[in-house]
Amino acid sequence: MKTFKMLSLELLQDDQLKSFPLTDGIIINQENSHKSWVLEMYMDRQYKAFFEPYLGTDEILEVRAVISYPDNEPAAFRVVVNAVKEIDNQVSVLLKGTLKTVRRQYAELLLDKLIDEGLEGDALLSQFKTDMKKRPRIKP
């Protein structure tokens, strides 16, 4: 098994990314035949109400997590909510699932999109830099 620090988490819902501010987070690659991953987030208790309805439903959620360093590209996962537990004024949310395999890197997808929009030269470079920081969702 390998463990990683999770810095942020976003959930894809209705074609929008919803961010969850984390107090702390960890991601575990179980390195098993199922290629399973465990994501545990520790966050403000207000988010308990968001995750609880998914408990026991086996509904697959698509999430993106930034691992280890803030500048890392977010890793995409397909997960189910496995546990939601209150701890003092915080909540622990345990997700289990698999890494979503995306072959094309974000920068390549973004560049293709901006070129398709007709940007070039300084305008292309400026928009590319801005979007690499903001990371808007790109539909492949």
Clarify whether residues 37 and 72 are in a common domain. Answer: yes
Clarify whether residues 71 and 52 are in a common domain. Answer: yes
Clarify whether residues 94 and 122 are in a common domain. Answer: no
Q: Rounded to 5 degrees, what are φ and ψ at 44?
A: -60, 145
Q: Which of 6, 1, 5, 10 is nearest to 135 (CA)?
A: 10
Clarify whether residues 79 and 124 are in a common domain. Answer: no
Clarify whether residues 46 and 91 are in a common domain. Answer: yes
User: How far is residue 135 from each of residues 10, 40, 72, 75, 140, measured CA to CA in Å?
Assistant: 11, 23, 11, 12, 14
pLDDT digits (tens, 9 = 90+) for 85-114: 999 999 999 999 999 865 557 788 889 999
Residue 132 sits in which domain range?
104-140
What are 90's strand-pairing partners?
44, 87
**Total domain count for the chain?**
2
CA separation for the pair 50, 4 (Å, rounded): 24
Clarify whether residues 8 and 75 are in a common domain. Answer: yes
Clarify whether residues 92 and 134 are in a common domain. Answer: no
Clarify whether residues 121 and 83 are in a common domain. Answer: no
Q: Are the C-beta atoms of residues 65 and 6 closer than 8 Å to each other?
A: yes
Clarify whether residues 92 and 113 are in a common domain. Answer: no
Q: Is the pLDDT of residue 129 over 90?
A: no
Clarify whether residues 85 and 110 are in a common domain. Answer: no
The amino acid at 8 = S
Confidence of residue 35 (pLDDT cuts 50, 70, 90): confident
CA separation for the pair 96, 116 (Å, rounded): 37
